[in-house]
Amino acid sequence: MTGVRLEKATRQSGAADARIDLKTLDDAALVAEYLGGRRRAFHELADRYHLRLLNFIYRTIGDRDRAEDLVQETFVRVYRHLHRFDPTKKFSTWIYTIASNLAKNELRNRSRNPMVLFQAIKKNWEADHRPLQFEDNSYSPDDLFRKRHLREQVEKAVAELPEHHRVVFVLREMEGKTYEEISEITGVTLGTVKSRLNRARNKFAQIIGPMLD
Amino acid sequence: MRCDCNRFLQEYSDYRDGALSADHEAEFREHVAMCPCCDRYDRVLRAGSELLAHLPSEHPADDFMPRLQHRLYNVDEGLTEMPAHRFAGGAALVGVAAVGLLALFWLPFAATVPFEMQLDPVAAFVLPATEVDVPTLFRQGPFVDASIRDGGRILEAGAAIWKPRSHVHPTVILESDAWLKASASLGH
């Protein structure tokens, strides 16, 4: 029954899809389209954000599989509460706020069970467990080794940051969010964002400094 | 205020992210050019950021979108999604609550009403003295063999410890599932 209903809804929205290409719309317009009855608009939003959210959550919690689960949970929550979204705000900030809260909850739960955290970090850090990747042939084997080693060390350095600092650091350095957006996503003041970011950078520099000399 | 190393470290993020005024930024640039430590700090962080920006991107599993769609259908259908461990915990809680309620319901009855069933008396004929099993050294006695008869048919037979209250008309209580009251004549 579910599939039939969805197919019907998709067919109904098919005609409308022909009128406006969803890919050309910004997030706010997609939300409006979805609330206006075009289900495909939500799928477009999911397409836009799932990779970014996966990487953000993965860098925050350090467990790839769990990160994927949390991205799914993020979309389910967005889907449930999209009608409550304030259109005067940025959609990306809203969805990152939800993802960030889920990641924080995950870290909090893990801190009650340190063994789980250790296993997750170990699993993700061991080079042998990584899938094979095609490398750039323009580098010599030594360069490739050094490059891979550096990447791993940088990932480790991020994971070693204290939780509060890490979220801010990842949002700024990897997601390119502004201070204001980070403040909104994390629910702390602008001053705290700056302070945490500065400390995170300081710590990061201490960890990777010896490797980059 | 001139830029020194402490100030540089404290306000580095503003410098890096372009949040300083033009004058302050010029002071910071001047300090970096003169101070090897702060210059190194700046270079390390910029290189680190460069590495971070080029970390390989994680990709979701192939079934990510189908799984998401399935979950969204469940939301449409109003089906509540509950993790398995939560479901198990909930079921256990309901079970314990049900047992507790039943216990509360039965407790007053169990305390006040004795569970006793009175059956109709059944006549049991103790076999004649000649057929009484003689206690052996290994058995504590005296024992009597008793049988419950319905006319000539033996319904049940067994042994019981006999504790006569009267020589004339002893009453034998046979331990059984029901109360049995029997009169026995031992023939003396």
- Of the candidates B48, B68, B81, which has its C-beta nearest A46's C-beta? B68
Q: Is A140 on the interface with B (CB under 8 A)?
A: no
Same domain, A146 and A51: no
Asked if pLDDT for residue B149 goes beyond 50, the answer is yes
Question: In Å, how far is B93's CA from the nearest CA of chain A?
Answer: 22
Give me the pLDDT at residue A136, please.
Answer: 47
Q: Which pLDDT score, from 0 to 100, does residue B85 have? A: 52
Q: Is A179 in the same domain as A166?
A: yes
Q: Which of A76-80, A125-129, A176-180 shows the lowest mean pLDDT across its residues?
A: A125-129
Is the pLDDT reported for residue B170 higher than 60? no
CA distance B78 to chain A (A): 10
Mean pLDDT across B126-154: 53
Please choose, from the candidates B185, B186, B187, B183, the residue with its C-alpha nearest in 3D space to the C-alpha of residue B123.
Answer: B183
pLDDT at A129 > cutoff 50: no
pLDDT at B153: 65
Instruction: Looking at the complex, report in whole angstroms how far the Cα of residue A88 sits from the nearest Cα belonging to chain B.
Output: 25
pLDDT tens profile A153-204: 888 899 999 988 999 999 999 999 999 999 999 999 999 999 999 999 999 9
Amino acid at B136: T
The pLDDT value given to residue A139: 55
Q: Cβ of A202 under 8 Å from any chain B Cβ?
A: yes
Please check the confidence at residue A91 and state whether its pLDDT lies above 70.
yes
- For residues B188 and B150, which has the higher predicted lDDT (pLDDT)? B150
Report CB contact under 8 Å: B12, A201: yes
Token pair of A61, please?
A: 């919690």
Q: What is the pLDDT of residue B88?
A: 60
Decide which of A99, A125, A151 is a domain's last residue.
A125
- Over the stretch B5-46, which tens digit does the pLDDT of each residue have? 888 998 999 999 998 999 999 999 999 999 999 999 999 999
**Mean pLDDT of all residues in chain B?**
70
* Type and span of the H or E element at A1: none
Co-location of A134 and A83 in the same domain: no
Same domain as A9, residue A106: yes
- A67 in contact with B at a CB cutoff of 8 Å? yes
- Among the partner-chain residues B48, B67, B77, the one whose CB lies closest to the CB of A2 is B77
Strand order in the sheet with B143-150: B124-126, B143-150, B153-161
Domain containing residue A21: CATH number: 1.10.1740.10
Residues A116 and A203 in one domain: no
Q: Is B108 helix (H, G, I), strand (E, B) or coil?
A: helix
Contacts 24+ apart (CB under 8 A), A93-96: A93/A181, A93/A184, A93/A185, A95/A49, A95/A53, A96/A53, A96/A56, A96/A171, A96/A175, A96/A177, A96/A181, A96/A185
Is A152 found in the same domain as A115? no
When pLDDT is averaged across residues B89-105 and rounded to a whole number, the result is 76
pLDDT value at position A196?
94
Return the number of CB contacts < 8 Å for A and B: 102
CATH label of the domain that carries residue A197: 1.10.10.10
Count up the domains in chain A and report the number.
2
Q: Which two tokens stand for residue A126?
A: 């061991």
Q: How high is the pLDDT of residue A150? A: 81
CB contact under 8 A, A155 and B73: no
Report yes or no: A35 at the B interface, CB cutoff 8 Å.
no
B172: confidence class by pLDDT, cuts 50, 70, 90: very low
Same-domain pairing of A97 and A182 = no
pLDDT band at residue A68 under the 50/70/90 scheme: very high
Q: Are residues A41 and A80 in the same domain?
A: yes
Domain that holds residue A206: 127-213
Residue ranges of domains in chain B: 5-53, 124-183
- Residues with Cβ within 8 Å of residue A96, at least 6 apart in sequence: A53, A56, A171, A175, A177, A181, A185
> Where would I find the H helices in B78-133?
84-112
Last-in-domain residue among A77, A97, A125: A125
Segment of A72-76, A145-149, B140-144 carrying the highest mean pLDDT: A72-76
Mean pLDDT in residue range A126-149: 55
Looking at beta carbons, which residues of chain A come within 8 Å of B13? 194, 197-198, 201
Interchain proximity A50–B41, CB inside 8 Å: no
Same domain for A190 and A149, yes or no, is yes
Distances (CA, A) of A84 to A79, A184, A194, B150: 10, 17, 30, 84
In this model, does residue A59 exceed pLDDT 50? yes
Q: Do A34 and A72 fall into the same domain? A: yes
A93 with A177, same domain: the answer is: no
Nearest CA in chain A to B76: A2
The segment with the largest mean pLDDT, out of A187-196, B108-117, B131-140, is: A187-196
Q: With 90 as the cut, is the pLDDT of residue A55 above it?
A: yes
pLDDT at residue B159 above 70? no
Q: What is the value of ipTM here, to two decimals? A: 0.72
Mean pLDDT of B57-78: 90
Where is B47: in which H helix or E strand? helix B36-53
End residue of a domain, out of A125, A144, A171: A125
Among A5, A76, A204, select the one facing B71 at the smallest CB separation: A76
**pLDDT for position A31:** 94
The per-residue pLDDT for A49 is: 95
Per the prediction, chain A carries an average pLDDT of: 81
Q: Are residues A49 and A112 in the same domain?
A: yes
Q: Are strands B180-183 and B171-174 parallel, antiparallel or unpaired?
A: antiparallel
Residue B179's pLDDT band (boundaries 50, 70, 90)? very low
Which residues on neighbouring strands pair with residue B181, listed in sequence order? B173
More confident residue, B121 or A64: A64
C-alpha–C-alpha distance, residues A57 and A70, integer Å? 8
Is the CB of residue A75 less than 8 Å from the CB of residue A99? no
